Copies of this chain bind each other. A is one copy, B any other.
Amino acid sequence: MTTTNTTREMIIRTGAELIARQGFGATGINAVLSATKVPKGSFYHYFKSKGDFGLAVIESYSRDYDIKLEAILGDVTRTPVERLRAYFESGTVDMTSCGFSNGCLIGNLGQELAAQNELFRARLDEVFTGWEERFAGCIAQAQDLGELDRGTDPLELAGFLLAGWEGAILRAKVVKSTAPMQRFERVFFTMLTTAD
């Protein structure tokens, strides 16, 4: 990675951290600059505008998250349901380690910006759709192996699972405890795990 790319990446990662904690609207470019010690001219060398910067933050987060999902959901040393459980476990650990302050960056931005910015909305929708397809693959494998009940279409169930998980993360943030996330996992598997 060149120095140029490193500086750009550093601005994006610091920005992602600030945006996850306080929202996109409340994160001024000046706050990003002072946290990264990058001069304003450099920022505008890498990003045309704050919107352009926001889209780069989404790209970076989504790329990192894809790698994480591939590692967890593609881990063939575990059964598909064990992989889903590992995903829930990793989300619970992340939520605890940020002190319940961040949640999911894509969910947060969706909440804040979907109605205000069509470009952001469309990109966030693509990211969610990509995640749903990945989970649908893992759920289909679990159904094929008889680990999960076959009664529901995998993509339908993946959408249900991810939306429910986003809601559980929101509830966890408000109660400052991972209990809602653990409850989501418990109820989800109780309802869907085949008895035999």
Contact = CB atoms under 8 A, between A and B. Distances in A.
A191 B190 CA distance: 10
Interface stretch (A36-44, A63-71, A72-80, A171-179): A171-179
B167 A110 contact: no
Interface in A86-145: 99-103, 107-108, 110-112, 114-116, 121, 124-125, 128
A190 B111 contact: no
Contacts of A61: none
Given A159-B183, A186-B156, A114 B174 contact: yes
Interface string A160-196: 1011111110110111100010011011101110000
How many copies of this chain does the complex contain?
2
A191 to B, nearest CB: 4
Given A111-B173, A151-B191, 4 more contacts: A108-B111, A111-B112, A156-B183, A191-B191
A190 B100 contact: no
A173 to B, nearest CB: 5
Interface residues of A, number: 51
Interface of A: 21-23, 25-26, 99-103, 107-108, 110-112, 114-116, 121, 124-125, 128, 149, 151-152, 156-157, 159-160, 162-168, 170-171, 173-176, 180, 183-184, 186-188, 190-192
